């Protein structure tokens, strides 16, 4: 397993993949760890999560540089990612007791009836490289707080991050094997899912990976949570606060070098403000600094792998051939590294890839709508349903329209984001289940009814 720097294309390090025997041993140890960990006081788990948060904060620069070297994210954004992981740990360090307390059932006067939230066991997480720390901590913090143990099968291009995350938990004082990384490729995931010690699986990644995992898990009757792709609409109405809409639009599409499931991908703008929005948006996009992600002033780094950039460019080319206009960007930059410039497409035809598929890189499709009604129709014209945003000064109207967008989360006058305090997840081909908040900690628990007569 090799970790290759996408900026320089140099191999950083290589790692031996785990043998089948090593995987088996890791799962046995995880299962053994569960026996004790599930019986610990929640207060103790909270303390260890607080320790993990402190370790993350104290070492944020080191972890950020590791992230940047392995997958190319601008280092300032990598620092923010590590800080967010600390926040996720702190959230559950403060709230786990409250979120896991028994729920008394008020509709059974003849008995004492309540729901207890008990852990399930070993939970496998199949995670992607785009937020290599955050995706893993978003899973790990609630899952461990609930008393489960976690095994991480991280993306094959970020093995250094996988091991560093394991080390954070070790240093925080978690019992051995409460959280471990399995260095394996995707072809070995089925064997892990079918292993009797694994009780549930969560996946963040492509639909292809999600379907493959869910199929095997389904056959094995194991619960899954799937957080897959998205083609989030960013709806700009005629009464939008244009300055903040434009500023946020530039960030929403290009943060993480465009490689985010909840990046705004389709900018649906009503006719009245279309020209002004588009001009200002293109201007903002052109001002982004593309370059060495280790440089603090860089806004957009390389794409994480050569193949991913080629796929993105293919989507742009096909959209152009179908009639889209490339206003800025549109072809890979010359030289070392997988650099794709921030790109804006207009006149985007309905069925071309930029309008109908997930574009996992800095490529924005700006689409004109006659009015709010048509904007909502276009926003929902996708098989995905992860997030969406609506921009309007009329907050009541914003909320009404938020109710009509088919997505797991809609933000009015704010960037779509995952925040530990609110649930996160999708509908339609974006997957199912929720991460974070109360819903997230309740995904991998036995909601056990107790009835005392
Ligand atoms: P993948 O979905 O292939 O990778 C995500 C994780 O799933 C990795 O750990 C990968 O392992 C694993 N995986 C892949 N195939 C299988 C399988 N058949 N069974 C079990 N596990 C599997 O994403 P890519 O990196 O190839 O990116 C492709 C596209 O996926 C992107 O262009 C984007 O559209 C989408 N994506 C969405 C993300 C999100 O946040 N929702 C994140 C990343 C990608 P391995 O690395 O070993 O192949």
Q: Which residues are catalytic?
A: 227, 261
Q: How far apart are CA 373 and CA 371, in angstroms?
A: 5
Dist. CA 129–CA 161, nearest whole Å? 9
Task: Give 113's strand partners.
Answer: 451
Atom of ligand 1 nearest to the CA of 185: 47
Q: What is the pTM of this model?
A: 0.98
User: Do 288 and 74 form a contact (C-beta atoms < 8 A)?
Assistant: no
Residue 363 three-state SS: strand
Average pLDDT value for residue range 71-99: 98
CA–CA separation, 369 vs 199, rounded Å?
A: 47
**Could you give the C-alpha distances from 317 to 258, 358, 404, in angstroms and in order?**
17, 15, 32
Atom of ligand 1 nearest to the CA of 129: 43
Percent residues over pLDDT 70 in the chain: 100
DSSP state, residue 175: P
Task: Specify whether the CB–CB gap between 444 and 120 falls below 8 A.
Answer: yes
Q: Look at ligand 1, atom 8, and give the residue with the nearest C-alpha.
A: 155
Name the percent of the chain lying above pLDDT 90. Answer: 100
358 ligand 1 Cβ < 6 A:
yes
Please answer whether residues 352 and 318 qualify as being in contact, where contact means their C-beta atoms are separated by less than 8 angstroms.
yes
**Residues 6 or more apart in contact with residue 158 via CB below 8 angstroms:** 3, 67, 70, 71, 129, 132
Q: Tell me, rounded to whole angstroms, the distance of Cα 447 from its chain centroid.
A: 26
- Type and span of the H or E element at 87: helix 75-100
Beta strands 198-204 and 122-126 are parallel
Taking residues 111-122, report their average pLDDT.
98
Which tens digit of pLDDT belongs to each residue from 151-178? 999 999 999 999 999 999 999 999 999 9
Nearest CA to ligand 1 atom 28: 206
The answer to whether 3 and 11 are in contact (CB under 8 A) is yes
> What's the order of all strands across the beta sheet hosting 409-412?
325-328, 343-346, 363-369, 264-270, 232-236, 387-391, 409-412
Q: What is the ipTM of this complex?
A: 0.97
Give the DSSP per-residue string, 327-357. Answer: EE--SPPSSSS-----EEEES--TTSHHHHS
pLDDT tens digits, one per residue of 327-367: 999 999 999 999 999 999 999 999 999 999 999 999 999 99
Under 8 Å between Cβ of 280 and 242: yes
Instruction: Mention every residue, 6+ apart, whose C-beta is less than 8 A from residue 189.
Output: 124, 126, 153, 212, 213, 216
Whole-angstrom Cα Rg for the chain: 22
Give the ligand 1 atom nearest the CA of 126.
Answer: 9
How far is 322 from 54, CA to CA, in rounded Å? 51
In this prediction, residues 183-202 reach a mean pLDDT of: 98
| Residue 171 to residue 188: CA distance in whole angstroms | 28
Q: Would you say 312 and 363 are in contact if contact means Cβ atoms under 8 Å apart? A: yes
Mutational test site, ligand 1, from 125, 138, 202, 205, max ligand atoms within 8 Å of CB: 205
Q: Please, are residues 270 and 239 in contact by the beta-carbon 8 Å criterion?
A: no
- The torsion angles phi and psi of 403, rounded to 5 degrees, stand at -70, -15
pLDDT by residue (tens digit) across 31-67?
999 999 999 999 999 999 999 999 999 999 999 999 9
Choose among 204, 232, 198: nearest CA to 216: 198
- pLDDT score at 259: 98
What does the DSSP assignment read for 231-273?
Answer: -EEEEE-TT--HHHHHHHHHHHHHGGGG--TTSEEEEEEEHHH
Q: What confidence tier does 437 reach under pLDDT thresholds 50, 70, 90?
A: very high
Ligand 1 neighbourhood includes 186 CB (under 6 angstroms): yes
DSSP state of 181: E
DSSP E strands in 401-442: the ranges are 409-412, 427-428, 431-432
The residue with tokens 């720097």 is 5
Cβ(125) – ligand 1 distance below 6 Å = no
pLDDT confidence of residue 224:
98
Question: Using one digit for the tens of pLDDT, what is the confidence trace for 284-298?
Answer: 999 999 999 999 999
How many A from CA of 253 to the centre of ligand 1?
A: 20
Determine the straight-line distance between the first and last CA of the chain, rounded to whole angstroms.
57
What is d(CA 59, CA 77) in angstroms, rounded to the nearest whole number?
15
pLDDT band at 15 (very low <50, low <70, confident <90, very high): very high
Cβ 256 under 6 angstroms from ligand 1 = no
**Residue 122, H or E segment:** strand 122-126
**Spatial separation of the C-alpha atoms in residues 179 and 432, rounded to whole Å:** 24
DSSP 187: G
Model confidence pLDDT, tens digit, residues 385-414: 999 999 999 999 999 999 999 999 999 999
Its sign, for the CA torsion 266, 269, 271, 274, is: negative
Q: What is the rounded average pLDDT of the residues 11-17?
A: 97
Over residues 141-154, the pLDDT tens digits come to 999 999 999 999 99
């Amino acid at each position: 397993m090799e970790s290759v720097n996408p900026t320089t294309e140099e191999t950083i390090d290589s790692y031996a993949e785990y043998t089948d025997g090593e995987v088996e041993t890791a799962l046995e140890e995880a299962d053994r760890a569960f026996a004790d960990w599930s019986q610990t006081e929640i207060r103790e788990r909270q303390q260890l999560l607080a320790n993990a948060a402190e370790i993350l904060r104290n070492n944020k620069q080191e972890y950020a540089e590791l992230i940047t070297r392995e997958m190319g994210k601008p280092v300032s954004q990598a620092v923010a990612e590590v800080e967010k992981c600390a926040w996720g740990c702190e959230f559950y360090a403060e709230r786990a007791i409250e979120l896991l307390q028994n729920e008394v059932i008020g509709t059974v006067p003849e008995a004492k009836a309540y729901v207890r939230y008990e852990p399930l066991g070993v939970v496998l997480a199949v995670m992607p490289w785009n937020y290599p720390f955050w995706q893993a901590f978003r899973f790990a913090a609630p899952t461990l707080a609930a008393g489960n143990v976690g095994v991480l099968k991280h993306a094959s291009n970020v093995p250094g991050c996988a091991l560093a995350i394991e080390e954070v938990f070790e240093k925080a004082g978690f019992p051995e094997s409460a959280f471990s990384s399995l260095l394996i490729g995707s072809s070995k995931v089925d064997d892990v899912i079918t292993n009797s010690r694994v009780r549930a699986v969560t996946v963040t990644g492509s639909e292809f990976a999600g379907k493959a995992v869910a199929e095997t898990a389904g056959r094995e009757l194991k619960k899954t949570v799937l957080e897959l792709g998205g083609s989030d609409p960013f709806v700009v109405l005629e009464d939008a606060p244009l300055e903040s809409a434009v500023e946020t639009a530039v960030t929403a599409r290009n943060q993480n070098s465009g490689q985010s499931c909840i990046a705004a991908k389709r900018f649906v703008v009503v006719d009245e403000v279309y020209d002004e929005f588009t001009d200002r948006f293109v201007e903002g996009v052109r001002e982004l600094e593309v370059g060495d992600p280790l440089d603090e002033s860089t806004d957009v780094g390389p794409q994480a792998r050569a193949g991913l950039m080629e796929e993105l460019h293919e989507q742009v080319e096909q959209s152009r051939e179908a009639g889209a206009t490339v206003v800025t960007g549109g072809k890979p930059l010359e030289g070392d590294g997988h650099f794709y410039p921030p790109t804006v497409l207009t006149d985007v035809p309905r069925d071309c890839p930029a309008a109908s598929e997930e574009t996992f890189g800095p490529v924005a499709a700006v689409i004109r709508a006659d009015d709010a009604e048509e904007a909502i129709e276009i926003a929902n014209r996708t098989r995905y349903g992860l997030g969406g945003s609506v921009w309007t000064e009329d907050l009541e109207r914003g909320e009404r329209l938020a109710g009509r967008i088919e997505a797991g989360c809609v933000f009015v006058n704010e960037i779509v984001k995952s925040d530990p305090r609110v649930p996160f997840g999708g509908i339609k081909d974006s997957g199912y289940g929720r991460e974070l908040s109360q819903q997230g900690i309740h995904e991998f628990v036995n909601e056990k009814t107790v009835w005392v007569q």
